[in-house]
Amino acid sequence: MSPETYPFVVRPLPYEYDALTPVLDEETLHVHHDRHYKTYVDNLNNVLADYPEVQRMSLEQLLTKVEKLPVGIRAAVRNNAGGVFNHALYFDTMKESGMQAPVGKLAEAIVQDFGHYANWRDQMRQAALGQFGSGWAWLVSDAQGKLIILQTANQDVPDLLLYTPLLLVDVWEHAYYLQYRNKRADYVDGWFGLIHWKKAERRYEEAIQN
């Protein structure tokens, strides 16, 4: 993530709206990206509009330096900056289906920490399906390169001072309901085939270098 600051902008999808079919159809991507994600960007900018001293903070700083925020906007910043961060990364770490397996050092780490890709997939799936209500399931790395699966509720992010997010799956109903109705499992199973493993690998390499 580049250190962008206010006013935050909607990042265009790095692929066409029909690129993720049939797992995610065009309508789902338009509604999710153009409306839901955009709303978090707009709301975050609105929240920060009257706080010039906060406008110099990056997205990561807004999410990690809560004590620097005026008390009255902390909850709104947490929810909307989280929504911006999570959605930008979610859309960026998917691609048209093709390569289905992890690569490089990340592939090695998955074997080391989970025994086998299939075990990792099972645990990631359980995290996504087991997240009660709206939220996210994450694969993150700590600074030593240990991989951890996490869940967060709503638009919360993992502790970015401890972890580098590598992958995440949005399990808010808005991510899948148009297409899958209540079948979250079918959506999550499809998501595994959209993972942009090269980008996840790049993020992992950065995580262990820093």
Which residues would be at the binding site for Mn ion (CB under 5 A)?
170, 172, 175
Minimum distance of Mn ion from residue 71's CB (angstroms): 27
Of 175 and 195, CB closest to Mn ion: 175
Minimum distance of Mn ion from residue 1's CB (angstroms): 17
Of 21 and 154, CB closest to Mn ion: 154
Minimum distance of Mn ion from residue 94's CB (angstroms): 12
Of 172 and 187, CB closest to Mn ion: 172
Whether residue 41 contacts residue 10, with contact meaning beta carbons closer than 8 Å, is answered with yes
**Cα distance between residue 123 and residue 125, in whole Å:** 5
Q: What is the distance between the terminal CA atoms of the chain, rounded to a whole angstrom?
A: 14
- The tokens describing 65, both together, are 């330096």
Of 78 and 109, CB closest to Mn ion: 78
Q: Give the SS3 label for residue 91.
A: helix
Minimum distance of Mn ion from residue 114's CB (angstroms): 26
**Cα distance between residue 45 and residue 33, in whole Å:** 17
Q: Give the SS3 label for residue 167.
A: strand
